[in-house]
Structure 1
Amino acid sequence: MHRLDNGQRIRDAMQVAGLSIERLAEKTKEVDPAGYGISQSAIGHMVSTGTSGRASFTRRSCDLAAKALGKPVEELFMNAPV
């Protein structure tokens, strides 16, 4: 899946929720049935606009980030073109 608006929607959702990258990583562990969550580094890739920013992520990572932010995954990410 690809992040929308170069990660701006994720950054906006984090700001509204009052979450830092560190706290969002913790919240993804809380919502992950396996308890692993997403690393701070991976979330940094999701929100970065610089060279460390990445465009695509696994469905699992997208689902966990969206759930931790209380948003539908479709508001933050889109399916990768086939």
Structure 2
Amino acid sequence: MEDKLDEEISALDRLDLNDLEVLRERRLQQMKKMAEKRSRWISLDHGEYTEIFSEKDFFSTIKAKNGTSSSQCFEFCSY
């Protein structure tokens, strides 16, 4: 395990400026994709709970999501 870590450190030490720029660009693209996903999720109300009062509203909400979110359904009984 220690040898593997030493090899990784040595490989990082051998990187030149072009290699670092490639790594930087790759990471920048990953961050942009993550930001786009997060923005899309927010626009689809991902991670928010919404109380739906009728079956019609439920199905129209699910249809609007186009299968992009998983839905959890809870049935509440009134006494």
Q: Which has the higher contact order (CA 8 A, sep 6+)?
A: 1
Asked whether the two chains share a fold, i.e. TM above 0.5, the reply is no
Aligning the two structures, in what range does the TM-score lie when normalised by the shorter sequence?
under 0.3
Q: Which structure has the bigger radius of gyration?
A: 2
TM-score (norm 1): 0.27
Which one has a larger percent strand, Structure 1 or Structure 2?
A: 1
